[in-house]
Amino acid sequence: MGELLEVNNLSISFTQYVQGLNRHDLKVISDLTIDVGESEIVAILGSSGSGKSLLAHSILGILPYNSHVTGDIKYKGQILDQELKEKLRGKEICLIPQSVNFLDPLMKVSEQAIGECKDEKEHAEKKIRQREIFAKYGLDESVDDLYPFELSGGMARKVLLSTALVGDPTLLIADEPTPGLDAKSVEETITDIRNLKEQGKGVLLITHEIDVALKTADRIAIFYSGYVIEINKVENFKNADNVLHPYTKALINSLPKNGFNLTEGVQPLDEVPGCPYYENCPIRIDKCANTKPQLEEHDGVMIRCFNFKEANDGT
């Protein structure tokens, strides 16, 4: 199983001007490390509006101009610079967008799935491919000529997925594929994404729905206040004892089936000197207040917490 995508210490910040000429750097993603292999689904689970989508934008090279990025992204071992991103996006790396708003409201959906073509020949080839994929997802020929506003919720979702598959990508990035869908559509989406894995594709699933992440992914990365604090196998998320980070434990305990135990506290908005979870952490040590823990491996789990670093060093 080869690595498709490796993201190492990626940080994304935005330069803002507040009150006249005072510049302010807003850090949205800090020191993010994650990897996705072939036939693997990795979920990034974080709260809404925490900037998870920017990871997708960064991989595809569509961040806005005022963003500042450090760290590196590799695709199949090759550094993914802007030039390579532009070459690969839409072909080997495809985005499955969130909603029908990502489709041009005045273009027929089949044309959007086909996308930009150099000439008639390419268009004809892609048209066949688009028809195959639409048919596979149960979209008959009458759907080809519809405009996005004419699609029902379920159809829209299948069209969005199809747009990503026409180019036959190796890596898919699903950015919040299940926003506000009914339970049945969510189940279908999960099945569709699992099927992509069966075809050998790697999927990076960005979501805030823990249930979707649990049912879909092989590994889950927990995104907290801009940091990835734990990457663990999905099996370990069944029980709070098998996950390591106190935030992950709190998250699992808060699920309805695990007793709905809510924890007080909010994610810090500003950059903090120490561990981002320091304020709310039940097992914090003095060191956590002013020193930032790194994401390190502990028994096959990636964890950002001094308690485990100590344990690591101890053994």
Partner 1 sequence: MIKINNKKLAKFFGYKAIRLLILLIVIAAISFIMIQMSPIDPVRAYLGQRIVSQEQMAIMGDYWGTNLSLGERVLGWLQTLATGSMGFSLIYRVPVTEVIIQKFTASFTLMAVSWVISAFVGFGLGVLAGAKEGTWIDKAIKTYCYILQSTPTFWIGLVLLMVFSVYLGWFPIGLSVPIGQLSDTVTFWQWLYRLILPAVTLSIVGIASLTMFTRDKLISVKKSDYFLFAQARGESFWGIIKNHGIRNILIPAITIQFMSFNELFGGTILVEQVFAYPGIGQATVAAGLRSDVPLLLGIVLISATFVFVGNLIADIIYEYVDPRIRGEEDE
Binding site for partner 1 (CB under 8 A): 57, 60, 62, 86-91, 94-95, 97-99, 101-107, 115-116, 147, 149-150, 163, 167
Contacts 24+ apart (CB under 8 A), 24-28: 25/68, 27/226, 27/271, 28/54, 28/226
Q: Rounded to an integer, what distance in angstroms lies between the CA atom of residue 275 and that of residue 147?
A: 48
- 204 forms beta bridges with 42, 173
Contact 172, 197 (CB under 8 A): no
Residue 187 C-beta: closest distance to partner 1, Å: 25
Residue 56 C-beta: closest distance to partner 1, Å: 8
Which is closer to partner 1, CB of 57 or CB of 233? 57
Residue 60 C-beta: closest distance to partner 1, Å: 5
Which is closer to partner 1, CB of 25 or CB of 86? 86
Exposure string for 85-103, b = 16+ CB within 10 A, e = fewer = beebbbebbbbbbbbbeeb
Residue 242 C-beta: closest distance to partner 1, Å: 36
Which is closer to partner 1, CB of 103 or CB of 305? 103
Question: Which structure tokens are listed for 149?
Answer: 């506003």
Amino acid at the residue 119: D
Q: How many C-beta atoms surround the C-beta of residue 45 within 10 A?
A: 25
Which is closer to partner 1, CB of 112 or CB of 216? 112
Residue 104 C-beta: closest distance to partner 1, Å: 5
Which is closer to partner 1, CB of 126 or CB of 219? 126
Nearest to 195 by CA among 174, 214, 181, 216: 216
